[in-house]
Amino acid sequence: MPQQLIYQHTFANGLTLLAEEMDDVRSAAFNFLIPAGCVYDPPAHRGIGSVLSELITRGAGSRDSRELSLALDNLGLDRSESVASLHMRFWGATLARNIPASLELYADILRHPHLPEDEVEPVQALALQDLQGLEDEPRQKVLIELRNQHYPPPLGFDRRGTEEGVRSLTRDIIHRHYHRHFQPQGAILSVAGNIKWDPLRAQVERLFGDWKGEPLPPLQLGQTGQKVSHLVKEVEQTQIAMACASVPIGAPEYYAALGAVNVLSGTSSSRLFTEVREKRGLCYSVWATYQTFKDRASILAYAGTTNERAQETLDVMMAEMRRLSQGIEEEEVERVKVGLKSSLIMQQESTSARAGTLAGDWYYLNRVRSFDEIQAAIESLSPARIQQYLAHHPLQDFTLVTLGPKPLTIPA
C-alpha cells in the first residue's frame, strides 16, 4: 500500500484545509463542507437550504449563470451541490491540472454569488416538485418521518423542508440566510489526487484567507417524537421503518457497531436478507444501516411488504435484530471483514472518496484516520467484540414508523 501523504492546516479565520497527495492518479477531487445544513433552516422557512444550494451556482463573481456554467463545463468538472443535516456540500472532480481553476470558480460561488431575483421562482418551483414527488415515493416518505420522530429536532429535519417554508422565500430572505451561514468558521475544504500541498495551501489562503463571518451559536435540540406512529395511506405495500440508538463514530465500540449492522444487512448472506426475503419471501427490499452524528448514532432498518404480511414482516425483522445478541458465527464476521476491507480498498483508489473521507474524519474526529488504523480495527472484529457491544448497547427501545392502510404493533 502506498504511503499516505496527508496534510492539514486551519487558517486564522477558522477554515480547515485538508489534502492527500496521490501521485499514482491523474485526477483530483475537492469537497467543501459549509456549516449551512437543513438544521439551520429557520422554522418559518424550512427548505431554504435546498433552495440556496440550487440558486448559488446561478451566477457568481464576474460571470452570470450561463457564463459560470460554461466555465465549469470547460474544466470537465463532474460536480454536485447538496444539503445534508449539518452541512451544505460542494463537490467536484476533474483532471488534477484543472483543480486550481476550479477552486478560483468556487471561491466566487461561495463568497460572491449573485443569487439573482429572477431565478428564485424557478428554483422554488423545482423545490416544490421535489416535495410533492414524495407522495409517489412511500419509502422515502416513511424514512423521512422515521428520522423526524427518532431524532430531537432539528437533527431529524429533512432537507426538502415544507411547502409553506419554500413558498415563503424571497430573494431578501435567502440573501440574509446566505450571509449568516456562509462563513469560514467550521468550514472544511478537502482535496485529494495528483496535487501538491504547498501551491494548494498558498492558493486557498489567497482565495479564502480574508473571508470573515461570525460563528454560529450551538444548536438547541428539542424533544424526540412518538415511539410508534403510522401514516395512513391506501397503497398496495406497507412501508416499515424503525431505529434504535447506537454509538457514534469515534466511540471505542464504533467498529463493533458497524460489524453488528453488517451481520444484519449488506449482502445476500446477511441475516435480514436471508430470513425475511429468502426463507419466507416476505418482501423484496429489506435492509439495515448505520447513521451517525457527532454525539449520537442510530441503527435504522427498513422493509416494504404486502399489506397482508406486514405484521409478520415486522415480527421477523424484530426477532432477527433481537436474536443478534444470542450469538454470532465466526464465518459471519469474516464475511463482514471482507466487505469492509473491500470498501476500504476501493476508497483508497478513488479521489472523490478520499476527499469525502478526509472532510468527514476531520468534522467528526478532528483528525484523519490512516488506512492502517482502519484496517487494524476491521481485523480486530470478532464475534466476542460484537457481542460485547450488543451487551452494552442492545437493539431495543425502537422508534417505529409505518405507512400503509393499517398500523402495526411492535412485538413484545
Model pLDDT, residue 2: 53
Average pLDDT over residues 269-283: 92
Average pLDDT over residues 333-347: 90
Model pLDDT, residue 165: 98
Residue range 167-184, pLDDT digits in tens? 999 999 999 999 999 999
Strand runs (DSSP E) across 54-197, as ranges?
78-83, 88-95, 188-193
pTM: 0.94
Q: 236 Cβ partners below 8 Å, 6+ apart?
A: 306, 307
- pLDDT higher than 70, residue 372: yes
Percent of the chain's residues with pLDDT above 70: 99
Q: Which three cell numbers stand for residue 362?
A: 476531520
Average pLDDT over residues 306-314: 95
Model pLDDT, residue 181: 95
Alpha carbon 7 to chain centroid, angstroms: 24
d(CA 238, CA 193): 45
- What pLDDT band is residue 349 in, cutting at 50, 70 and 90? confident
Q: What angle do CA 378, 379, 381 make, to 5 degrees?
A: 70
Model pLDDT, residue 345: 84
Q: What is the rounded (10 degree) CA torsion for 289, 294, 295, 299?
A: 0
Residue range 89-128, pLDDT digits in tens? 999 999 999 999 999 999 999 999 999 999 999 999 999 9
d(CA 177, CA 87): 14
Model pLDDT, residue 1: 47
- What pLDDT band is residue 296 in, cutting at 50, 70 and 90? very high
d(CA 240, CA 187): 36
Percent of the chain's residues with pLDDT above 90: 92
Going by C-alpha positions, the residue among 329, 241, 328 that lies closest to residue 288 is 241
Q: Give the chain's domains with CATH numbers.
A: 5-208 (3.30.830.10), 228-404 (3.30.830.10)
Q: Which three cell numbers stand for residue 392?
A: 452494552
- pLDDT higher than 80, residue 49: yes
Q: Looking up cell 449573485, which residue turns up?
A: 114
- pLDDT higher than 80, residue 227: yes
> How much is the mean pLDDT over the chain?
95
Q: Which three cell numbers stand for residue 307?
A: 399489506
d(CA 37, CA 15): 17
